[in-house]
Structure 1
């Protein structure tokens, strides 16, 4: 399963979102869940975030407390609901 998640947060919530994302990555480093590749990017407008995930299924991230906190905060922080897009890889170079 490969997905892209796009979220646009309100400017006053950017720092909060960054703190919560860093907590997610700190927990991922500790837990090191199998079957997960996850990367987040902040776009140049500073309020749009894009995450790419390759995972065996959504159950890989859901049990992590830091991810639960981040996901719950998105409901308060976002200008619009996060958009989930399923991806079908055509090709890649140096990504794996």
Structure 2
């Protein structure tokens, strides 16, 4: 399963949001969950974020969502946002090296 989540944070909460995101990546680097591919981008407007996630197995989502750092990130996301997260499931048509081969 592949998903994209996009949202826009309040301008004064960008650094806070990035701190939460970095904490998630620190936790992922320690846990090294198999079958999970995850990337986060801040867009050119400086306040919009996009998260791309790919799970190679059905249980893969819990490897991310059960991390305490991810729970902390999501706990206050709506208060940090100017535009709330939109979660979209994606069907891959093709890629080259993006999600690993």
Q: Given the two structures, how large is their TM-score scaled by the length of structure 1?
A: 0.95
Q: How does 1:6-85 map to 2 (within 5 A)?
A: 6-55=6-55, 56=57, 57-85=60-88
Point out where structure 1 has 5 or more consecutive residues left out of the alignment.
Answer: none
Task: Give distance in 2, aligned partners of 1:43 and 1:80.
Answer: 14
Q: Which runs of 4+ in 1 moved over 2 A?
A: none
Corresponding pairs, count:
96
Q: Given the two structures, how large is their TM-score scaled by the length of structure 2?
A: 0.90
Q: Quote how far apart the aligned CAs of 1:94 are.
A: 2.1
RMSD between superposed Cα atoms in Å: 1.0
Q: Quote how far apart the aligned CAs of 1:29 are.
A: 0.2
